[in-house]
Chain A
Amino acid sequence: MKRVLAIAGAAALVAVALVVRGVLAGDDDGSSGAGGARPVVACSPGLEPICDALADAGFVDPGTESFDLGSTASTTGFVDDRRVDAWITWDPAGPMANFDVASGEPVWAGAEAVGSSPVALAAKQPLDGEGCAAPMSWTCVVSSVEGGASVAVGRIGTIDGVVRLAPIAVSTLSDDETVQDLDVSLVRSVAESSTQAPDDFAAELRTFEVRAGAYDVIVGPASGLDGVVGATLTTPTGDFAMTLVVTPRVGASTRWIADAFDAEAVQEAVRAAGVEPGTGTLADEQRAGELYALRQEITR
């Protein structure tokens, strides 16, 4: 009997030691996710290389996930089933996802901007429709589509698609109109102007570069479009930017973010996503509401 008790006691001591070591190890590596382990992050589609860079640099858990607006980010059950401490996405995905949470309890806390760039367009041929003369306005894209041009603006319904389509959609509204007055079919005609399957910015940019004929125009962050061979970059009038953000889960620590996004490899991944690291301001609540309404309208 004594022998059995001794063995059980030893096993318990080993278990306690393992727990203590795990906690200490979590503290030692500077992480600040739940339970002291490294944070778990998710990325919107197209931004996965940033998650990978963070994981490779040891700032986050290697088991990163990919999710976006819609049933995933807005469903507490989904997030609860996984330990997701932060979501790397485009602003204002967090507030937009919170609008959809059935319980009304926000899932996502205030975001931190880690990079941004004005929304711009690159075109392979000069555009000559309405609004295309300098200074170009976003109505130029609409008139170009009416003239047969194909435009890459992402998947409607994703945060990538919403922030890229927003300037074009807004340009169709007069000063006294709101998003609810949107001519949805007109905006959809832009989003569906290409015969290519819509995708995220990174994928569409690659297609634009390697497949002649796929798109006449691509819309996206100016820094990402700068230097595309055989295309002219223009930033139409209007105050539209794509801001890359880290959106923490409510209650999750944000201490790791500053160090992580100072790391060279991570900044390189941020640049590759098409934005300038360390820049950007967040959309206010009204803007988030407008984009939420836009998404609702065009995905209806």
Chain B
Amino acid sequence: MRITRTIRAVALGTALAIVAAACGGGGGGGGGDEDGLGDPGDCTVVDVAVSSEKIDLMRALAKEFNASDASDLDDGCAFVRPYPKSSGGAAELLANGWTGDSDPAPVIWSPAASSWGAILNQRLSEAGEAAMTGDAVSFMLTPLVIAMPKPMAQALGWPDTPIGWRDIAELATSPDGWASKGHPEWGSFKLGKTNPNFSTSGLSALIGQTYAAAGKTRDLSTEDLKRAEVTDFSQDVESAVVHYGDITMTFLNNWFRTDRGGTSLNYASAVAVEEKSVIDYNQGNPDGVLEPGEQVRKPKVPLVAIYPEEGTLYSDNPLYVLKADWVDATERAGAEAFVEFVQLAANQEKVLEYGFRPGNPDVALSSPISEANGVDPDQPSKLLQVPQPAVMVALLDRWKEQRKEARVMLVLDVSGSMQDPTDPADPSGPSKLELAQKAAIESLGEFKSTDDVGLRVFSTNLGPQSDQDYLDVLPIQPMADNREALKNRIRDLVPRNGTPLYTVTSEAYDAMLASYDPTRINAIVLLTDGTNDDGDDSDDSDQLQALLTKLKANNNGENDKPVRVFAIGYGTEANRDVLEQITDASNAAYYSASDPETITKVFTAVISNF
């Protein structure tokens, strides 16, 4: 089981498309390549941007559509081609005319929830532009739930006692943590929540907790957001967050991996996810994507879905045929044919297979939406009103200030290989370091002024005596004081010598642990383009094992001081295997920027964890 990152999938999809374009010929009919989604032949291509958790399902439906009579148009045929795109990322791109992205501008947009359509229209309206989304078909559903390991849920009274955001806030601020519920062995209460600017689960959870704070189920207003008790409640909930992130799969994969070692209860107590993810997890497929040859294995400690008693929201998976100037009449006709196709009862049965609730009432709810998978088909019992778009935008703005503060050490590789051009065919083009510098500087904007951030660079033979493996360029300080200095120092970096990866990671970790701040997310962002190369490879294996042992010991609950190491593998030479071992050991996540051109996106995704 490996973390499947959006970025990786996008890169893979793009690569496939390029290969298909290179190999594909003309000819009508389309779909002649292996996966059935590369070569449209003479058909009109209908590009579909979909939220990543349903990409497998959408591809399966697209293949069937493309091969069926349903794709026939009055004049020609339609060829649907889905690709994954995070809901928040797509909303941002659409609001800016879909410029500067490697994926084609979509004809259909299917975010996880229609909240994103409302947010997009609000942003367009504020910019004086026309709405891009209108009424849409909701072709499948899945409610936002709070996933908890079954024993923890039982300790809170599940399934007889309703549980909600108020219980979460209470536990989050309890100085005794789980001891207050008779389980001191579980330590403090730890919550996993994705970043609401990227993730629908994060957005729905934010809306849910805010309604709970306001004591409402409808008509949430911007005035409510300013109320002291609402702000306090939100900060109480956020205080328990282990880290944020762009996708819920990071939490689920980490939970699943720690489950094997029997430490899943120490990693996280609860994570806000879609109901579908609980089903996937309990079926042994935590990220919902089965890699070729991957065997499913049920977890030792299953999850159960808590439907917050204050109410929740559905991810309603709308299919928007966009009112955009790049969508012509034929593309629109093809898009509408596909929208009709996915609603057919036979196709809605597939929706159910993937753990979603069908949008077609002719398809009854049945397995896998069942108690055996930790979910309750009769829940939720209460739904919340989707707030007005302006309120959601205000909510997102306020969250940036209310989220848990971070304490982060940026650890950047300045080894000699970073001076290599990003494109070997263009030696005069930008070097890897130059692109990384640009990306790092841009990502600084994601930190808030009260986050503490420092910069360490590593290579061999650094320092006045040329005997150091790293230099602390800037100590960890509040961004309010460090922001400009960080930009300048990052801009000034130059490539040096070797890559003492293990030494710098180990010592950076020690430093972060020694100055651990329990009120913050404590983390290291490690960027490297290579493998450990400190001039002595005889002890590499021992160094790595020592590092992993230390990370595991400290992150599996022994001292309850988690310091996460988020690693970015930069370029094609980065040692992915080693970096994944490091991130897994610290219950964080690995991010691949094998294509250096993606480094800005990847850096932003990494910073979304804070």
The interface of chain A, by Cβ under 8 A from chain B, is: 124, 195-196, 205-206, 209-214, 229-230
Q: Which residue of chain A has its CB nearest to the CB of B384?
A: A195
A210–B218 touching, CB < 8 Å: no
Q: From residue B549, how far is it (CB to closest CB) to chain A in Å?
A: 47
Q: From residue A67, how far is it (CB to closest CB) to chain B in Å?
A: 17
Cα A196 to Cα B314 in complex, Å, equals 11
Residue in contact with A195 in the complex, picked from B143, B307, B311, CB distance below 8 Å = B311
Residue in contact with A210 in the complex, picked from B358, B379, B382, B383, CB distance below 8 Å = B358
Contacts of B143 in A (CB 8 A): 212-213
Is B141 in the interface zone, CB < 8 Å from A?
yes
Contacts A211-B314, A212-B377, A213-B312 given; indicate if A206 touches B361 (C-beta within 8 A).
Answer: yes
Residue in contact with A212 in the complex, picked from B364, B378, B384, B385, CB distance below 8 Å = B378
Is B173 in the interface zone, CB < 8 Å from A?
no
Is B330 in the interface zone, CB < 8 Å from A?
no
A212–B361 touching, CB < 8 Å: no
A211–B364 touching, CB < 8 Å: no
Is B54 in the interface zone, CB < 8 Å from A?
no
* 13 contacts across the A-B interface (CB closer than 8 A): A195-B217, A195-B385, A196-B383, A196-B385, A206-B361, A210-B141, A210-B358, A212-B377, A213-B379, A213-B381, A213-B382, A213-B383, A214-B383
Contacts of A214 in B (CB 8 A): 383
Is B13 in the interface zone, CB < 8 Å from A?
no
Cα A196 to Cα B311 in complex, Å, equals 12
Counting chain A CB atoms within 10 Å of each CB, the highest count among B361, B377, B379, B385 belongs to: B361
Cα A212 to Cα B217 in complex, Å, equals 16
Contacts of A213 in B (CB 8 A): 143, 307, 311-312, 379-383
Contacts of B358 in A (CB 8 A): 210
Contacts A195-B218, A206-B361, A210-B359 given; indicate if A230 touches B385 (C-beta within 8 A).
Answer: no
Cα A213 to Cα B379 in complex, Å, equals 7
Q: Which residue of chain B has its CB nearest to the CB of A230?
A: B378
Q: From residue A152, how far is it (CB to closest CB) to chain B in Å?
A: 12
Contacts of B190 in A (CB 8 A): none
The interface of chain B, by Cβ under 8 A from chain A, is: 141, 143, 217-218, 307, 311-312, 314, 357-361, 364, 377-385
Cα A124 to Cα B314 in complex, Å, equals 19
Contacts of A205 in B (CB 8 A): 361
Contacts of B385 in A (CB 8 A): 195-196
Q: Which residue of chain A has its CB nearest to the CB of B362?
A: A209
Contacts of B383 in A (CB 8 A): 195-196, 211, 213-214
A211–B141 touching, CB < 8 Å: yes
Contacts of B312 in A (CB 8 A): 213
Cα A206 to Cα B363 in complex, Å, equals 12
B380–A212 touching, CB < 8 Å: yes
Contacts A195-B217, A196-B385 given; indicate if A210 touches B311 (C-beta within 8 A).
Answer: no
Q: From residue A231, how far is it (CB to closest CB) to chain B in Å?
A: 11
Contacts of B361 in A (CB 8 A): 205-206, 209-210
A-B contact sample (16 more), CB < 8 A, given A195-B217, A212-B143, A212-B377:
A195-B311, A196-B385, A205-B361, A209-B361, A210-B141, A210-B357, A210-B358, A210-B359, A210-B360, A212-B379, A212-B381, A213-B143, A213-B311, A213-B381, A213-B382, A229-B364
Counting chain B CB atoms within 10 Å of each CB, the highest count among A196, A206, A213 belongs to: A213
Cα A62 to Cα B102 in complex, Å, equals 42
Cα A214 to Cα B141 in complex, Å, equals 13
Q: From residue A272, how far is it (CB to closest CB) to chain B in Å?
A: 12
Contacts of B217 in A (CB 8 A): 195
Lowest 4 A-B CB distances belong to which pairs?
A: A209-B361, A195-B385, A213-B380, A213-B383
Q: Which residue of chain B has its CB nearest to the CB of A216?
A: B381
Q: From residue A23, how far is it (CB to closest CB) to chain B in Å?
A: 30
Q: From residue B345, how far is it (CB to closest CB) to chain A in Å?
A: 13
Cα A195 to Cα B220 in complex, Å, equals 11
Counting chain B CB atoms within 10 Å of each CB, the highest count among A195, A209, A212 belongs to: A212
Contacts of A124 in B (CB 8 A): 378
Contacts of A211 in B (CB 8 A): 141, 314, 383
Q: Which residue of chain B has its CB nearest to the CB of A228?
A: B361
Contacts of B382 in A (CB 8 A): 213
Cα A4 to Cα B96 in complex, Å, equals 60
Q: From residue A191, how far is it (CB to closest CB) to chain B in Å?
A: 13
Contacts of B359 in A (CB 8 A): 210
Q: Which residue of chain B has its CB nearest to the CB of A209?
A: B361
Contacts of A212 in B (CB 8 A): 143, 377-381
Contacts of B141 in A (CB 8 A): 210-211
Counting chain B CB atoms within 10 Å of each CB, the highest count among A195, A214, A229, A230 belongs to: A195
Contacts of B311 in A (CB 8 A): 195, 213
Cα A209 to Cα B363 in complex, Å, equals 10
Contacts of B314 in A (CB 8 A): 211
Cα A110 to Cα B380 in complex, Å, equals 46
Contacts of A230 in B (CB 8 A): 378
Cα A211 to Cα B369 in complex, Å, equals 13
Contacts of B378 in A (CB 8 A): 124, 212, 230
Contacts of A210 in B (CB 8 A): 141, 357-361
Q: Which residue of chain A has its CB nearest to the CB of B382?
A: A213
Q: From residue A203, how far is it (CB to closest CB) to chain B in Å?
A: 10
Contacts of B377 in A (CB 8 A): 212
Q: Which residue of chain A has its CB nearest to the CB of B364?
A: A229
Q: From residue A190, how far is it (CB to closest CB) to chain B in Å?
A: 15
Cα A230 to Cα B364 in complex, Å, equals 10
Cα A230 to Cα B151 in complex, Å, equals 30
Q: From residue A274, how far is it (CB to closest CB) to chain B in Å?
A: 13
